[in-house]
Amino acid sequence: MEREWLSSVLTGTIPLGQAMGLEITRLDDSGISLGLPLAPNVNDKGTAFGGAMASAMILAGWSLPRLLLRRAGISADLVIGRCELRFLEPVGAAFQVHCNWPEADQCQQFLVELTSHGRGRLDLTPWVEHEDREAATLSARYTALAKSTST
Amino acid sequence: MEREWLSSVLTGTIPLGQAMGLEITRLDDSGISLGLPLAPNVNDKGTAFGGAMASAMILAGWSLPRLLLRRAGISADLVIGRCELRFLEPVGAAFQVHCNWPEADQCQQFLVELTSHGRGRLDLTPWVEHEDREAATLSARYTALAKSTST
């Protein structure tokens, strides 16, 4: 149910997720994995385009705080701010992007800060896996912003 | 001629460039600009998806050293390594991505290092423009790697 909902967000409301052929291959207590075929994400060298890997990592990371908000029944905008990308080696085949859940107290803190101060932050480090190695990594801070209400 | 060639690389050999509706809107002595419509690049909030902006900035930056290599008649792989992304404000309409040429001596150095040491580096800072402001920036190092030859 939750997985179907997230899938519809990632590929239904974000056209690039659909164009990339992205699908959720795992969503459990340890984290999320997205699977992507090479063909729609290829570059001129026949390997995965850096922008496609960046997009998939941004979405894998974004999915986790998005699920925290949904589970808590909180309506908030969730944005990515400054982040660092590293491209470590070329990816010449279909690939997986993973993001692990942070510690439970960090997830709790994210929600507490959001509800008490109107802004919650969560640091995440999704990565691209290829042949059992990290092929690319993203270090990103996601910020949830409470929607302004009339006072 | 050069512009048509680059356009065919960005949208012909890179499917995501095509899916994003990317087009070269300027290529001159000061730099390159890419234009992107909002619809294929939108996110769940109705603004430009960070991954689409990242992809367009990566391509705008990549285009400049790629043109340097072509003009010099050098065959080399051109890759992006570590880079920093900043998302500064939401973009709710079609947008432009710009990248300026570095100083001439930096371009020269890039080619000299490549031909003499097999590896040339160029630092570039493409950005997304929206309503005359920077909406996102990328600080990236592009590395050209001479193709290995039999000795």
Question: Which ipTM value was assigned to this complex?
Answer: 0.94
Contact, A66 vs A8, CB < 8 A? no
Which helix (H) or strand (E) is B25 found in, with range?
A: strand B23-27
Confidence tier at A147 by pLDDT (50, 70, 90): confident
**Confidence band (pLDDT; 50, 70, 90) for A149?**
low
Flag if B82 and A84 touch (Cβ within 8 Å): yes
Interface test with A, best of B11, B38, B83 (most A CBs within 10 A): B83
Mean pLDDT value across residues A98-123: 97
* Nearest chain B CA: its distance from A139 CA (Å): 10
Under a CB-based contact definition with an 8 Å cutoff, are residues A3 and A23 in contact?
A: no
B133-146 and B76-87 as β-strands: parallel, antiparallel, unpaired? antiparallel
Token pair 């993203």 in the structure block, residue:
A138
- Distances in Å between the Cα of B97 and the Cα atoms of A123, B52, B77, B87, B123 are 27, 11, 23, 13, 17
CATH number attached to the domain at A2-146: 3.10.129.10
Q: Is the confidence at residue A150, as pLDDT, over 90?
A: no
- pLDDT reported for residue A148: 65
Helix (H, G, I), strand (E, B) or coil at A55: helix
Q: How far is B110 from chain A (nearest CA, A)?
A: 20
Mean pLDDT value across residues B122-146: 96
> Considering CB atoms only, which of A19, A45, A82 is closest to B85?
A82
Q: What percentage of chain A carries pLDDT values higher than 90?
A: 95
